[in-house]
Amino acid sequence: MSIIGTILIGLIVGLVAKLLMPGRDPGGFIITAIIGIVGSVLATYLGQALGWYRADESAGFIGGVIGAVILLALYRMVVRRT
């Protein structure tokens, strides 16, 4: 159930990150979902590495949104240059 929960939170996080970042995105719903999921996972592992979360805790909603916004900004920079 943990994986399904992470995916569902990632979808919501991706949508929130897309709303927070103004401008046109080169990706659609699938890319938004993937960025949200990866952003949540990235925030979880980074938070655990920095000691913000225990090994059995996942990042919160705000941490996931921050991770997704960072990934979305990187994605936009990469896609626009190619």
**pLDDT higher than threshold 70 for residue 25:** no
Sketch the domain layout of the chain as residue ranges. Answer: 2-81
Q: What is the pLDDT of residues 38-71, one digit of tens each?
A: 888 888 788 788 887 777 766 677 888 888 888 8
What is the pTM assigned to this prediction?
0.75
- Which H, E and C letters describe the chain, residue by residue? CHHHHHHHHHHHHHHHHHHHCCCCCCCCHHHHHHHHHHHHHHHHHHHHHHCCCCCCCCCCHHHHHHHHHHHHHHHHHHHHHC
